[in-house]
Amino acid sequence: MRTILYIIQKEFIQVFRNKAMLPIIFVIPIVQLIILVNAATMEIKHIRLAVVDKDLSQTSRKYISKFNGSPFYVIDQYTFSMDEAENELKKGNIDAIIQIPSGFERKLVRESQSKIQVIVNAINGVVAGITNAYIQNMTIGYNIEVVTAIAGKPTIMNPPADININYSYWYNPQLNYKNFMVPAVLVILVTLIGMFLSGLNLVREKELGTIEQINVTPIRKYQFIAGKLIPFWVLALTELAFGLFVGKVLFNIPILGSIWLLFGVAAIYLVVVLSIGLLISTMTNTQQQAMFVMFFVMLVCIMMSGIFTATETMPGWAQRIDYLNPIYYFMRTVRMILLKGSGFKDIINEIICLMVFAFAMLRMAIWRYKKTA
């Protein structure tokens, strides 16, 4: 036990002696929270439209005003030339064009059907899909209005059956995307600090050759691994507390569940992350290699954890692979605890999975670490 304490002491001294490390540990969370949470908005708003209204009738103007009233759209340009509008679309100054051909209103009254053209820059498929849905929905509504406007009164005698749909959004009535992102940033933060610090630490000793000196001491393998793990485990947990505090102060995120439960899960999760970091560094020879492997592992795991988009939207095979992704469990539980107030009973499965991971990864790291060079 004393041996482990000495190694821990040594590690702490090393971390705190490195002048650049401390700012990194405490500045990164703030920067990340501010930038990531604000930048990572998948909210769709300000879709820029160009309107080519060649009809200039009352019906066409009213139709266009429907877009003006929507929170999603901004009418950026009015023009009469389709070429000009298409050019703007190419330049990327606008996102969609609505063209109303001349004789639109006349045709609508005479032939009872009239067409308009909508051209959407579909490079961002999500925006294009929503624009399409919005236009279709809005036009159906507008058609009813037109009937009243042209015919004077509703021509339909027997009122159609209607279902009134009432929405309620639990846990986040304003659909604030930030609430979703702050917990995610905390997860990234803890993972990043934990994995990189532990992973680079061991391989650095290898690269500089100081590992040899430790290898010839009577320190046992598990003692060495424990001595390497515990300091970063403490640091990362401190980091989580710090991040949570900053998140609360800056974004006032809801903390509905038990903080103790959150830290309990984080403590288990960190063993997994730190062990993976150590495992990678036992398998690599230079910091550059280790960094690349870690970066790769982290990127894939984070992207698949449902950070930006719900895991339910992934294909089935990807969802099954996710059962092997520790970040997926942690991401889920952090959000559940913070945003929904889920208790121990609700997340027992995730906790068990994380424990299995922690045990397996730790065993692997100890097994892979060889005292012989």
Partner 1 sequence: MKEFRGFVIKEFYHIFRDKRTMLVLFGMPLAMMLLFGFVITNEIKDVNIAVLDRSKDEVTRDITSRLVSSGYFKLYDNLNNDKEIGKVFRRGIVKEVVIFEPGFGRRLEKERIANIQILADASDANFANLITNYTSAIIRNYVNETNHQQTFPYQIVPEVRMVYNPELKGVYLFVPGIMAMILMLISALMTSVSIVREKELGTMEVLLVSPLKPIQIIIGKVMPYVALSFINAIIIVILGYWVFELPVQGNIILLMAECLLFIMLALSLGILISTATESQQIAMMLSMVALVLPTILLSGFIFPIENMPKILQWLCVLMPPKYFIIILKNIMLKGTGLAYVWKETLTMIGFTVFFIVMASKKFKVRLE
Window 307-346: residues binding partner 1 (CB under 8 A) = 308-310, 312-316, 318, 332, 335-336, 339-343, 346
- Interacting residues with partner 1 between 249 and 288 (CB under 8 A): 283-284, 286-288
Tell me which amino acid residue 294 is: M
Closest distance to partner 1 from the beta carbon of 317 (Å):
9
Name which of 318 and 360 has its Cβ closer to partner 1.
318
Which one, 111 or 218, has the nearer CB to partner 1?
111
364-370 LR contacts (CB < 8 Å, sep 24+) = 364/275, 364/279, 365/225, 365/275, 365/276, 365/278, 365/279, 365/282, 366/221, 366/222, 366/225, 368/279, 368/282, 368/283, 369/202, 369/221, 369/224, 369/225, 369/278, 369/282, 370/282
Which residues, 201 to 230, sit near partner 1 by CB under 8 A? 204, 207
Q: How far is the CB of 83 from partner 1 (least distance, A)?
A: 14
- Round to whole Å and give the CA distance between 109 and 174: 41
Nearer to partner 1, 150 or 360 (CB): 150
Quick one: which segment of 43-51, 212-220, 240-248, 261-269 binds partner 1 (CB under 8 A)? 43-51
290 and 281 Cβ atoms separated by less than 8 Å? yes
Binding to partner 1 (CB under 8 A): which residues in 82-121?
A: 89-92, 108-109, 112-121
Pick the closest to residue 338 from 185, 188, 179, 190 (CA basis): 179
Task: Kindly state the smallest distance separating residue 113's Cβ from partner 1, in Å.
Answer: 5
Considering only residues 45 to 74 of the shown chain, the ones binding partner 1 according to CB under 8 A are 45-46, 48, 63
Residue from the set 41, 65, 217, 252 that interacts with partner 1 by CB under 8 A: 41
The residue count for binding partner 1 (CB under 8 A) is: 117
| Residue (of 44, 56, 208, 204) closest to 126 by Cα position | 44
Residue 176 binding partner 1, by CB under 8 A: yes
Of the candidate residues 5, 13, 30, 42, the single one contacting partner 1 (CB under 8 A)? 42
The token duo for 65 is 């005003």
Taking residue 278's Cβ as centre, other Cβ atoms within 10 Å add up to: 28
> Could you say whether residue 81 binds partner 1 (CB under 8 A)?
no
Shortest distance (Å) from residue 360 CB to partner 1: 22
What angle in degrees, to the nearest 10, is found between the helix axes of 221-251 and 348-368? 140
Residue selected from 8, 28, 82, 351 as contacting partner 1 according to rule CB under 8 A? 28
Q: Which is nearer to partner 1, 147 or 364 (CB)?
A: 147
Per-residue binder mask for partner 1 (CB under 8 A), 136-175, x = binder: x--x--xxx-xx--xx---xx-xxxxxxxxxxxxxxxx-x
Would you say 102 and 54 are in contact if contact means Cβ atoms under 8 Å apart? yes
Among 69, 71, 125, 218, the residue binding partner 1 under the rule CB under 8 A is: 125
Give min distance, CB of 326 to partner 1, in A.
Answer: 17
- Among the listed ranges 129-137, 226-234, 237-245, 358-366, the one in contact with partner 1 (CB under 8 A) is 129-137
Report the largest interatomic distance among the alpha carbons of the chain, rounded to a whole angstrom: 96
Assign residue 158 a region (left: φ > 0; alpha: ψ between -120 and 50; beta: otherwise).
beta
Looking at beta carbons only, is 222 or 292 nearer to partner 1? 292
User: What is the C-alpha to C-alpha distance for residues 207 and 198, in angstroms, rounded to an integer?
Assistant: 15
Classified as helix, coil or strand, 218 is coil
Residue closest to 184 by CA, chosen among 332, 34, 313: 332
* Cβ–Cβ < 8 Å for 88, 77: yes
Residue 20 is a binding residue for partner 1 (CB under 8 A): yes
Q: Please report whether residue 126 would count as binding partner 1 according to CB under 8 A.
A: yes
β-sheet with 73-79: strand ranges across: 73-79, 47-53, 96-100
Which of 15, 44, 214, 241 contacts partner 1 by CB under 8 A? Answer: 44
Residue (7 or 332) nearer to partner 1, CB: 332
